[in-house]
């Protein structure tokens, strides 16, 4: 039974949603004013990608591409917060690159234990105990939990090797790595025998390095021809590139110099996704199959031309083992020099990027679908809308207060918004009604709101004065004692 090697997978991730907050009031004997005691909802679980040295392929994601983290639990009364959702850790091999579906690189996972948050869990909603304030002492609502992030990502495995073997199909790359290391790749006498990368560990004296045998290269590979990019991405991390040239080929139009030019042309056309150029990588040319008499003569003939280009040239035969010792130690020296020149690895620094002092946290622009409408964008107002229970009028009022304090109404008025126009925030569209007269927002101090001053309710003192006036009119008009009794009864019921 052979193990399948998978170096590319598309995964569908869903983080956990946050739990809803709880709206509860403390009830206890002899404590009529217990106050709000609703707990907060739990945080949704994250989906994490973690580098595991024991994982060498993306095979698990090929068969199980869907992954979902746990949801947060809802808050409860008695100031009991909901439990956080369980995060999901997905183990990936070292050298995994995380990309969006559009090809944007999000993370390059190198080093055991390196962790990347692939999907962020939703925030838990606040309970009414956390929403209580001096102005709103007993909120009758709670915030909803936020939905977890859902993403489709592409995982690509780029081999972590010191030396990469390049060459046309059937140039002898698999044979070379099989005799230099303990790797056992498939070897046959037809093109594209190697369909997946093969890694081997090579020892040269005290130097130990890894070697990668990747699928064969043909002209046009940089544009996706043949195995195309499936080949080229595996050499992005290689410190040394070895051109394996077949000197015993009988194909028309091929010779060692033209093969080398074709390989270099494809490397020049390829743009590594990780951003590093391969032009400065050390090159070594290996003229293979010199155990064949015609191949030995051809290798001896082209060697001066290759050395004139500044290439180090080695004539080898994987059958007779000719030249393998010299090649192994030469590659070991080059790898040691490359490692010495490589800058020392620094620990990952946490970069804090505070918002700009003039950043309001939102932006407003005209709605392209509605000439008289507006669209409010920004993480804070969009999150607030998602956490609002629109079946609760008090929760809607609280949302209006938050948007007002953020300056959304003031900015809408500045842009010429009229009462009744359509305003879209996230997935919700509202008919805008300004909360203050004249469509102008005046921010008040903490615990106060200009809207509270617009109280048209008749006070108890005004009702009592109205009853006295009615009573006086009845006495002046000769009212009876029965009428007086009815007035007193009405007054008692009103109380």
Ordered DSSP codes for 68-90:
EPPPPPPPBTTTBPPPPPPPEEE
Q: Are 19 and 80 in contact (CB under 8 A)?
A: no
Higher pLDDT pick, 44 / 369: 44
Q: State whether 229 and 322 are in the same domain.
A: yes
358 lies in some domain = no
Distant-in-sequence, close-in-space partners of 220: CB < 8 Å, separation ≥ 6: 226, 228, 266
State the number of CA atoms in the 13 A half-sphere of 435 facing the CB.
23
Helix or strand holding residue 475 (H, E): helix 460-476
Q: What are phi and psi of 245, to 5 degrees?
A: -105, 130
CATH number of the domain that residue 187 is part of: 3.40.50.300
Q: Report the binding-site residues.
A: 167-174, 192-196, 213-216, 288-291, 317-319
Alpha carbon distance 104, 106 (integer Å)? 6
Which pLDDT belongs to residue 450? Answer: 42
Residues 256 and 208 in one domain: yes
Residue with tokens 């004013």: 33
43/97 same-domain check: yes
Rounded (10°) angle between helices 173-180 and 324-341? 80
Domain stop point among 140, 157, 174? 157
Which helix (DSSP H) or strand (DSSP E) does residue 199 occupy? strand 198-204
Domain count, the chain: 4
Q: Is residue 35 included in any domain, yes or no?
A: yes
CA distance 314 to 171: 15
Least confident of 221-230, 245-254, 282-291, 314-323: 221-230
**pLDDT tens digits for range 470-490:** 888 877 766 554 454 444 444
**DSSP letter assigned to residue 322:** B
Q: Are residues 297 and 410 in the same domain?
A: no
- Considering only CA atoms, give the Rg of the chain: 37
In the predicted model, is pLDDT for residue 129 greater than 50? yes
| Residue 485, helix vs strand vs coil | helix
> CA–CA separation, 69 vs 46, rounded Å?
6
Are 469 and 448 members of one domain?
no
Cβ atoms of 13 and 48 closer than 8 Å: no
CB 374 within 8 A of CB 416: no
Do 258 and 378 belong to one domain? no
221 and 276 belong to one structural domain = yes
- Transcribe 24-57 into DSSP letters: -B--BTTBTT--B-PPPPPPPPPEEEEE-TT---
Do 165 and 211 form a contact (C-beta atoms < 8 A)? Answer: yes
Q: Are residues 8 and 128 in the same domain?
A: yes
Name residue, tokens 């102005």: 135
Complete DSSP assignment for 342-400: SPPP-PPPPPP-PPPTT--S-EEEE-TT-TT-EEEE-HHHHHHHHT--TT-HHHHHHHH
Residue 43 and residue 18: Cα distance in Å, rounded? 5
CA distance 361 to 363: 7
401 and 306 in a single domain? The answer is no
Inform me whether the pLDDT recorded for 346 exceeds 80.
no
Task: Determine how β-strand 47-51 pairs with β-strand 96-99.
Answer: unpaired
Q: Which residues are annotated as a binding site for Mg(2+)?
A: 174, 194
The parent domain of residue 379 ranges over 363-453
How far apart CA 134 and CA 221 sit, in angstroms, is 69
How does pLDDT run across 388-408, given as a tens digit for each residue? 988 888 888 888 888 888 888
Indicate if the pLDDT at residue 226 is higher than 60: no
Q: Is 404 helix (H, G, I), strand (E, B) or coil?
A: helix
Binding positions for GTP = 167-174, 192-196, 213-216, 288-291, 317-319
In a domain, 317, yes or no: yes
Instruction: Report d(CA 315, CA 285) in Å as an integer.
Output: 9
pLDDT computed for residue 12 by the predictor: 96
Span 380-390, pLDDT tens digits:
899 999 999 88
pTM > 0.75: no
Same structural domain, 5 and 130: yes
Whether 232 shows a pLDDT value over 70: the answer reads: no
Q: Residue 101 and residue 13: Cα distance in Å, rounded?
A: 13
d(CA 41, CA 146): 10
Kindly state whether residues 171 and 320 are assigned to the same domain: yes
First-residue to last-residue Cα distance in the chain:
89
> 432: domain CATH number?
3.30.300.350
In a domain? residue 349: no
Residue 355 lies in a domain: no
What is d(CA 296, CA 303) in angstroms, rounded to the nearest whole number? 11
What CATH number has the domain bearing residue 119? 2.70.210.12
Q: Which of 313, 315, 312 is nearest to 295 (CA)?
A: 315
Q: Are residues 237 and 118 in the same domain?
A: no
Question: Does any domain span residue 356?
Answer: no
Rounded to the nearest integer, the mean pLDDT of the chain is 79
Query: Among the three residues 157, 178, 193, which one is the final residue of a domain in this structure?
Result: 157
Pseudo-torsion of CA 459, 465, 471, 477, nearest 10°?
-120
Please tell me the distance from the alpha carbon of residue 16 to that of residue 145, in angstroms, as a whole number.
10
Count of H helices and E strands in the chain?
12, 18
Q: Which of 58-72, 105-119, 266-280, 400-414 has the lowest mean pLDDT?
A: 266-280
Residue 353 included in any domain = no
**By mean pLDDT, which of 137-146, 196-205, 300-309 is the weakest?**
196-205
């Amino acid at each position: 039974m052979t193990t399948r090697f998978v170096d590319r997978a598309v995964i569908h991730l869903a983080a956990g949603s946050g739990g809803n907050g709880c709206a509860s009031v403390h009830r206890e004997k002899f404590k009529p004013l217990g106050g709000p005691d609703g707990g907060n909802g739990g945080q949704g679980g994250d989906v994490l990608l973690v580098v595991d040295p024991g994982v060498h392929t993306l095979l698990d994601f090929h068969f199980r591409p869907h992954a979902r983290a746990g949801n947060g639990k809802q808050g409860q009364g008695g100031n009991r917060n909901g439990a956080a959702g369980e995060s999901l850790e997905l183990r990936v091999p070292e050298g995994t690159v995380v990309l969006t579906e559009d090809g944007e690189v999000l993370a390059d996972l190198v080093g055991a234990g390196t962790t990347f948050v692939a999907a962020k869990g939703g925030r838990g909603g606040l309970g009414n105990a956390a929403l209580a304030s001096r102005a709103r002492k007993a909120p009758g609502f709670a915030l909803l939990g936020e939905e977890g992030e859902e993403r489709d990502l592409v995982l690509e495995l780029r081999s972590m090797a010191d030396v990469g073997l390049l060459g046309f199909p059937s140039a002898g790359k698999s044979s070379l790595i099989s005799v230099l290391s303990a790797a056992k790749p498939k070897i046959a006498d037809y093109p594209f025998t190697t369909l997946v990368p093969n890694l081997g560990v090579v020892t040269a004296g005290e130097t130990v390095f890894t070697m990668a045998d990747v699928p064969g290269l043909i002209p046009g590979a940089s544009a996706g021809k043949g195995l195309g990019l499936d080949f080229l991405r595996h050499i992005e991390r290689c410190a040394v590139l070895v051109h394996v040239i077949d000197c015993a080929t009988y194909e028309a139009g091929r010779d060692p110099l033209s093969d080398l030019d074709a390989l270099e042309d494809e490397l020049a056309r390829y743009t590594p996704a990780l951003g590093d150029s391969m032009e400065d990588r050390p090159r070594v040319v290996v003229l293979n199959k010199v155990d064949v008499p015609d191949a030995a003569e051809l290798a001896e003939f082209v060697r001066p031309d290759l050395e004139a280009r500044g290439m180090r040239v080695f004539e080898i035969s994987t059958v007779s083992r000719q030249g393998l010792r010299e090649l192994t130690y030469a590659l070991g020296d080059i790898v040691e020099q490359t490692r010495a020149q490589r800058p020392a690895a620094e620990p990952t620094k946490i970069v804090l990027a505070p918002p700009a002092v003039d950043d309001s946290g939102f932006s407003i622009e005209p709605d392209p679908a509605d000439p008289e409408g507006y669209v409010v964008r920004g993480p804070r107002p969009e999150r607030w809308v998602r956490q609002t229970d629109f079946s609760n009028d008090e929760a809607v009022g609280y949302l209006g207060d938050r948007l007002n304090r953020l300056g959304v109404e003031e900015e809408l008025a500045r842009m010429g918004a009229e009462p009744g126009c359509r305003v879209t925030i996230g997935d919700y569209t509202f008919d805008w009604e300004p909360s203050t007269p004249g469509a102008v927002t005046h921010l008040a101090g903490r615990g106060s709101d200009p809207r509270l001053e617009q109280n048209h309710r008749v006070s108890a003192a005004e009702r009592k004065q109205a009853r006295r006036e009615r009573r006086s009119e009845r006495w002046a008009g000769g009212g009876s004692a029965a009428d007086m009794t009815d007035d007193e009864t009405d007054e008692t019921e009103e109380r």
